[in-house]
Amino acid sequence: MVHDSVSSDVDRLALLAQLLSPRIREGFAGLLSTPTMYRQVLQELEQLYGDPAATVQSHALTLTNVDSLRSESVAELERFYLQVNGPVSVLQMNNRHHELNSIVLVSQVASKLTRNLREKWAHHVHSRSLEALSMRYFVDWLGNLVIEKRFLAGFVNREQIASSPSSWGKRRERPHLATNPKLVGATVMAPVRLCIVCDSDSHNITSCPTFSNMDITDRLKVVRQSRLCLRCLKPGHLKQECRSKGKCSVRGCKGTHHPLLHGAPRMYSNQDLGQSHLAAKSPGQHHASVTTTRVNCQSNKVQVLCAVVPVLVTFGPTTCTAYALLDSGAEVSMMSSLLSRRLNIQGGKRLFNIRTINGMSQVSAMESECVVSSVDKSVSFKVDPVIVVPKMDLAVRSISLKLGPSN
């Protein structure tokens, strides 16, 4: 055991804490803070997870639950191979030949391959006896496939670079077919680039270090230009059509955007938004970010008319008539303090970062909820949360409409 090679319980406990999963580490948080409790922690872990039969069963279950192969790229094949090889190695080390030679288990794992690879696997084992049909044999076949794909991908890339030097430096290459004349007309598929930012095939945009280090406005620009979903950062659909149930993990935010887009403006100009100096946080108050929008317009002669409608706003037993500015780009709903006093709205005070066209400012505001209805009360919906701000800078202008004779 690796812990026996360490001289002190302090080092042993530190090693043990690093090896535990976050869920288990949280369950033993109190014991992991004291080196004298190392032996007790180790004993409890052995009682809970040290049963060899349970360990073998969990690895067999892991094989049946392995994620399906999404593509035949080198990175995806390597991911699938490693997820299968780990449990198979544990079963082999424990001499679990029954599980390793299970035709049912092999068939279940092989069904996770792409259709093309399933056909290759079936052709590969067609002429062999049933004794050769085992998980170890399947993993070895996968390993050879990964090696071939990696070699072929590098070979094809060199051919592409030599044939089209003008394509150097281009970003976000799409998968395309390349024909190698040295392989007697064989057609191969270039590796799929999972990351649209750095062209890597080992990670996607959500785990890209280059994307994470970008300014929030630049991240949104990449997402907009690549037409990615604002919720899952994947192409092919809009946020309203996204099947993902993930929400922003930033504390205090209830938005359905991806955490990497938290605080980004919904609409922005081509110039960088200036940021003003933030005021110091008040003790005992929570902190949150609120993003409003600004509209980018190329002509200074164009004016934008925002939709304003009369509504009924209700809080508890009190209902007031007000006017609502419909801003399709805003991420939150805001209310003036004057209207909140008329409604006698109650709520908790928080600190909010308000980003507008003039930059960012920090204000202390109340967060509550209300019900907004049409004037005829035919439609109503709950607004949660609504932020009560001391002042709303809205320019009220009137225009004169002269109707000419109709033709």
- Condensed to tens digits (0 to 9), the pLDDT of residues 45-60 reads 777 766 666 666 776 7
**pLDDT tens digits along 165-200:** 444 444 444 444 444 444 433 334 444 456 888 877
Q: Is residue 326 part of a domain?
A: yes
Say if residue 42 is in the same domain as residue 137: no
Q: Is residue 366 part of a domain?
A: yes
* Residue at a domain's end among 136, 153, 170: 153
Residue 343 belongs to domain with CATH number: 2.40.70
What DSSP element (H or E) covers 118?
Answer: helix 115-126
Say if residue 377 is in the same domain as residue 332: yes
The Cα–Cα gap between 340 and 130 comes to 76
Between residues 267 and 20, which one has the greater pLDDT? 20
pLDDT for residue 275 is more than 50: no
Say if residue 311 is in the same domain as residue 378: yes
Q: Is residue 162 part of a domain?
A: no
Say if residue 46 is in the same domain as residue 99: no
pLDDT for residue 347 is more than 60: yes
The Cα–Cα gap between 105 and 100 comes to 8
Average pLDDT, the chain: 73
Q: Is residue 169 part of a domain?
A: no
- Which range has highest mean pLDDT (34-43, 108-117, 150-159, 181-190)? 108-117
Q: Is residue 63 part of a domain?
A: yes
DSSP 291: E
Residues 6+ apart with CB under 8 A from 377: 312
Q: Is 265 helix (H, G, I), strand (E, B) or coil?
A: coil
Rounded to whole angstroms, what are the CA distances from 166 to 55, 163, 170, 198? 54, 9, 9, 18
pLDDT of the residue at 177: 44
> How would you classify residue 96: left for phi > 0, otherwise alpha for psi between -120 and 50, otherwise beta?
beta
pLDDT band at 398 (very low <50, low <70, confident <90, very high): low
Question: How large is the average pLDDT for residues 118-129?
Answer: 77
Stated pTM of the model:
0.33
pLDDT band at 273 (very low <50, low <70, confident <90, very high): very low
Q: Is residue 180 part of a domain?
A: no
Residues 6+ apart with CB under 8 A from 91: 56, 59, 60, 99, 100, 135
With contact defined as beta carbons under 8 Å apart, do 321 and 377 qualify? no
Q: Is residue 242 part of a domain?
A: yes
Q: Is residue 184 part of a domain?
A: no
Tokens of 291: 């993003």
Q: Which candidate, 272, 371, 363, places its Cα nearest to that of 324?
A: 371
Between residues 385 and 126, which one has the greater pLDDT? 385
Q: Which candidate, 126, 47, 138, places its Cα nearest to that of 87?
A: 138
pLDDT for residue 296 is more than 50: no
pLDDT for residue 122 is more than 50: yes
pLDDT of the residue at 249: 83
pLDDT of the residue at 127: 65
Could you list the residue range(s) of the whole structural domain that residue 136 is in? 55-153
Number of domains, the chain: 4
Question: How large is the average pLDDT for residues 366-385?
Answer: 89
**pLDDT tens digits along 199-233:** 777 778 888 888 888 888 888 888 888 888 888 88
Please report which residue ranges of 203-257 form alpha helices under DSSP H: 209-212, 216-226
